[in-house]
Structure 1
């Protein structure tokens, strides 16, 4: 959203940007922090004055925030409504940091709705926590905020009473505990007199001139007895944080009147901050053919099928991207506790009992705090639970990120199913979407309600959008497994095979071919390989892998291997005649034989760097669709219901030059250098105005520009990103390593799929991505997976006896760390093949001609990938030429040219790309 920041001083803007950068705030968090800064500045700091006139302050802030109509408290209170998963606790940390750095506020009172969130907040405010909210804030490195809690305030809080200076103090209290204490008319313990102090801790806090109240999940206790008791705390002002800015009543939801930032779940889904929900059914499923129990069993079994597929996909993703392993779990929503117990018994007996001991039941028979703690434990990878049976709708405090499958078995209408099912399941395990559908999707199994839910989700009045997912019937379904493949070199030296992880656990897909068979030999070989890997980052000592077999480097490696072994190991190896020098000699030679030199290349701009935007024509489709907004004012008599039109209302904000409506909105974007790009921006605004003028009368154009210029500016801003350029007078190429060992590969394939010979014709090419291929003689991996039959056929060519290919492989993600431009993004580019011949090293991309334009040229994405590949090959060739290596060439081959009758020399001659 755009916001008027004109009231902020330069030092305040710098402070905001500093906090945003240090805490890596997301856009809605940034907007919230700016809104608070604007509220303070626009009120001329009266928001920070305990003696302010509250009604007058309200009127001042109403002009800044259209949704604000009432503080709903005796003191100023502003609500920031951010969707679940966006990061309310981090925003809390940002607010505290800004208020301390800019306005010197040291005292904060944080309210939690229950014990779990109370303990979580205490942890998040503690420097030892992995989720410490002030990480990166230099002010708090040497003097972190003092955290005073509802359990230790009588001892720890007393230390600071009377001390008006010192560090920041964050008081964290549980409103649920205060509610309990005030029942029956008693005063909460915090209000009771502490005889040793002469006053209560509550009195001390209420007399502080700079106390700020922060209310987490404030909708949970808005009208509670405890919050009424805390009105006497009389804070300077309050900040409310919630994902649901309303309370429930017999007449329906009652919306908060003090919302200044509203960022609902639909926005979080659109912006990619949470998972995408998908409703799931079976293909050609007719729910009327089954009774209630049969339908329930089918949904459970399909839920488990989905869960097992997701588990495989998450395992592959973690191995492929060197990311943490995420253990997914499935949530089953039961009708009642009796039904939950029946489901527990059923789930532990299906699938040969492999879920026995992996299902837990949490319901009203346990306390809410115990329930939430049990659910929080499910997130841990080493915790065995994979299925949770729950009766009630899940509430705040359950911040797990690994819920991926939901099976609702309680009767409910479509809207309720959507709201309750999505519940707490949308948090992302990696903090952002990965682009991998299985990792980014929450699945809701709803065979009998599928169409009803789809219709509800497609209702124009429903802001949430759900994907649909159709499962094959069980008899047609192919179970999946995740396969981890080490290179031939790793297998020979370590004895590791090709392992698969699936529903049945781990197993060997292919036995390793180990060069060393005894444990002591393998110990030396592993140590030698570890030392060799260190030489990757020492291009001065080993500019290419060939340097490893020189006498000098081999001697160095031998000495380093011996240094890694203990005295006891060396004596034992001597007794068993383990020749360390001979093993190092063999390992270095094996490394050279099983390596294609891939330098690690870093290209950095040098000298003057020029940035800007290439001129372009706007994509005007969305602008054409804009319609005027009717702002006609209608007056209706309460006596006779007679209506009178009081004028065709407008914003009253006229601009003599129509383009200015748009330019003023573009000026609010921090990343646009307005002065430098004024001519281009005016041209784009003119294109937008002309588009509207071609379709509408002048008064309609005026209406659209007055009321929807922010939408037009947002569209222009998005398109500007696609035409951004960065040019330097020169670039410096830095080679960080002369060679690199091959990364492990991770694939998802069909369960129990035998390894196929790469020469065998694949009849059903649609299933080729579910298969593994082996039997190679020149490949540097024992098995490979192909994304198309074109790739398999190209591997056949590389393996031909008459070809001059010495060795080849399909690179794993991260092998090159090469990136290409795709709009404003820079995804990693992973080519299809790398092959070494007697004269060249080839980077090869095989591409379907579907990616070609009508004139035969390749589309933009393929072209950008090729541009990155060609540049990389050029830099690599230049480096290797200085060290006796082979030059690299980039080949872009159309799929219809991949024929076994064509040679590698032919492909090199016909399809090599140059800069």
Structure 2
């Protein structure tokens, strides 16, 4: 590989990693892809479809034309962020100037359009400094869009658009979009919900992509089919995600077998009633959490009921209003215009998904969504906390298929509250507790105590925290002023001795700075200049530690990073293989641990808050006749 190509790839890698704030799975996938592109030995645009496919096959992946690789990441881990990072990396390293992003749902296309705005907190292209004004074509621009050879051209379309007539119609700028894409020598396709491609029912989509003759097709999915196993490039599946417990809600399966002597309708009602009880428990926990942590998003928990068909969904929706007193605005029945055995009308589904994506917005009144089982893909919200599959859907296997709709976390991370951090899924069907434990253990593996990695509990373990109001009286009401306290943080220690920096080097101990050998499975090396590693690691530390001032502290942080590399045997101007990300993490940890021991200065501010102590009404457990003592509350819990 030429030095110039190696530099371009390494520079692009460092630039994206420094800005993307990748989670561990995203970074692993990104790094692995970087190794693959390096191993090609030539730029994508200079290789034929056949040569690129053959080279990727040589590297251990299933040969296909175009070369097709799948990233299998559990819902909520961040597929779109990874997609954007890979796209920017390929553009910065001069591998492509033409990218096609395919998404099969209008709701997803609309989301990608919003995230293509640089003001979005989830900016698709990671950071405005990485790609200047990408030239973007949306589905409404097919006939008016003009590609720009000096910019990154990104086409955000649906696979259905590729099979339509507009894509083959000459546009205002000249050739049709299909002709333009086919004639480029560097087209790379990114497909969301990639499990559709290769499915016989969606064969026209795969054929439409093949006709464009892209050099590379990268697929992203949370439900990779077993038939695609040899095309999976990186996998971080739901079982791994739940075991590590970092990026999604935990999952608890509530189990209750259906008695033989009860009708299907009555069992539906009992299942939903239990779901409403669990929903109330979630609501209470979220309210308590928000009172302690006001920065937690203002969300209202939702119960998702999975009905077998539209008639069943309508029936459940009416029952909730007529017999459980829910207002019409609190029940949303998702009309897909299909039944389980009928063909699906695309426009009806798109309309439903479009309405459903808004239910996690502040002010939402919906408490229950009654959803036809098949209508789920493309619906990504954060406030589904309870899922209740009904009838024949109330099996372990079907319950698992619905989990993805409730895995996302409102604040992007767990908060340490069990109820808020957990998705409840009801398995109220013909399977007993033992059967579901066996299936769950087989599906997700064993947890720390030999049980399944997901929680499995019987319905009888639900406890309702019944409360009642009671007046808490005081003898004399008083009020007083409490001055605002202003905290001035201490100055971080940024002058480490060589002995301390050697401790940081343990983060990168598998890298040999001098020889450039990398401790990976394939023995390949990731080599960058000494200065590039210093710059990337310094940027990561400054971005990651909010108590550091970029202007004031950057020079001192850079000195620490340089000192660690010098201790490892590096020298300015040397090509080294130290991982800038791990090095940055080590420096961050060392600075953070010392900063915690530095005392802040507290002083009275200019404003005050009036605190009143007066009689008030409080909620107490119904079991108590009077305000309980602390000891009583502990025992009651």
Which bracket does the TM-score occupy, shorter chain normalised? 0.7 to 0.9
Runs of at least 5 residues in structure 2 that lack an aligned partner in the other structure: 339-347, 447-451, 505-517, 527-532, 538-560, 570-582, 612-616
Distance 1:40 1:741, change over 3 A: farther
Is the CA contact 2:394–2:427 (under 8 Å) kept in the aligned structure 1?
no
| TM-align CA RMSD | 4.4
Which of 735, 760, 765 matches 2:601? Answer: 735
* Alignment match, 2:320: 347
Aligned residue runs from structure 1 range 21-32, under 5 A: 21-32=18-29
Matches of 2:618 and 2:297 in 1, distance apart?
17
Is the CA contact 2:255–2:432 (under 8 Å) kept in the aligned structure 1?
yes
2:7 aligned with 1:19, yes or no? no
Is the CA contact 1:19–1:98 (under 8 Å) kept in the aligned structure 2?
yes
State the Cα distance separating 1:310 from its structure 2 match.
Answer: 0.3
Q: Deviations over 1:623-654 (max 9, x none)?
A: xxxxxxxxxxxxxxxxxxxxxxxxxxxxxxxx
* Alignment match, 1:456: 439
Runs of at least 5 residues in structure 1 that lack an aligned partner in the other structure: 1-5, 182-187, 247-252, 482-499, 501-507, 516-588, 616-659, 679-716, 770-915
* Alignment match, 1:406: 387
State the Cα distance separating 1:674 from its structure 2 match.
Answer: 9.4
State the Cα distance separating 1:17 from its structure 2 match.
Answer: 3.5
* Alignment match, 2:482: 595
Which of 118, 124, 149 matches 1:164? Answer: 149
Distance 1:217 1:512, change over 3 A: farther
Matches of 1:729 and 1:397 in 2, distance apart?
44
2:218 aligned with 1:239, yes or no? yes
Which of 122, 137, 151 matches 1:148? Answer: 137
2:473 aligned with 1:477, yes or no? no
Q: Deviations over 1:818-846 (max 9, x none)?
A: xxxxxxxxxxxxxxxxxxxxxxxxxxxxx
Distance 1:293 1:173, change over 3 A: closer
Distance 1:23 1:512, change over 3 A: farther
Is the CA contact 2:395–2:428 (under 8 Å) kept in the aligned structure 1?
no
Q: TM-score under structure 2 normalisation?
A: 0.73
Distance 1:453 1:118, change over 3 A: same
* Alignment match, 1:61: 56
Q: TM-score under structure 1 normalisation?
A: 0.52
Distance 1:596 1:190, change over 3 A: closer
Partner secondary structure for residue 90 of structure 2:
helix
Matches of 2:595 and 2:248 in 1, distance apart?
41
State the Cα distance separating 1:750 from its structure 2 match.
Answer: 5.4
State the Cα distance separating 1:412 from its structure 2 match.
Answer: 4.4
Is the CA contact 1:309–1:479 (under 8 Å) kept in the aligned structure 2?
no
Distance 1:287 1:151, change over 3 A: same
Matches of 2:473 and 2:296 in 1, distance apart?
26
Which of 22, 35, 38 matches 1:38? Answer: 35
Q: Deviations over 1:492-514 (max 9, x none)?
A: xxxxxxxx9xxxxxxx9779999
- Structure 1 window deviating more from structure 2 (444-453 vs 392-401): it is 444-453
Partner secondary structure for residue 349 of structure 1:
helix
Partner secondary structure for residue 132 of structure 1:
coil
* Alignment match, 1:207: 183
Is the CA contact 1:79–1:260 (under 8 Å) kept in the aligned structure 2?
yes
Distance 1:211 1:750, change over 3 A: farther
Matches of 1:662 and 1:171 in 2, distance apart?
36
Is the CA contact 2:44–2:95 (under 8 Å) kept in the aligned structure 1?
no
* Alignment match, 1:275: 249
Partner secondary structure for residue 347 of structure 1:
helix
2:129 aligned with 1:132, yes or no? no
Matches of 1:178 and 1:388 in 2, distance apart?
33
State the Cα distance separating 1:371 from its structure 2 match.
Answer: 1.6
Q: Deviations over 1:466-517 (max 9, x none)?
A: 202445588x732469xxxxxxxxxxxxxxxxxx9xxxxxxx97799999xx
* Alignment match, 2:48: 52
How many residues are paired up? 544
* Alignment match, 1:299: 271
* Alignment match, 2:530: none
Partner secondary structure for residue 595 of structure 1:
strand
Aligned residue runs from structure 1 range 242-321, under 5 A: 242-246=221-225, 253-271=226-244, 272-281=246-255, 287=259, 290-321=262-293
Partner secondary structure for residue 280 of structure 1:
strand
Distance 1:594 1:129, change over 3 A: same
2:76 aligned with 1:88, yes or no? no
Q: Deviations over 1:247-272 (max 9, x none)?
A: xxxxxx52253322122111222332
Is the CA contact 2:492–2:598 (under 8 Å) kept in the aligned structure 1?
yes
Is the CA contact 2:249–2:407 (under 8 Å) kept in the aligned structure 1?
yes
Is the CA contact 2:300–2:360 (under 8 Å) kept in the aligned structure 1?
yes
Partner secondary structure for residue 227 of structure 2:
strand
Distance 1:600 1:295, change over 3 A: same
Is the CA contact 2:49–2:214 (under 8 Å) kept in the aligned structure 1?
no
2:367 aligned with 1:386, yes or no? yes
Distance 1:388 1:663, change over 3 A: closer
Is the CA contact 1:110–1:170 (under 8 Å) kept in the aligned structure 2?
yes
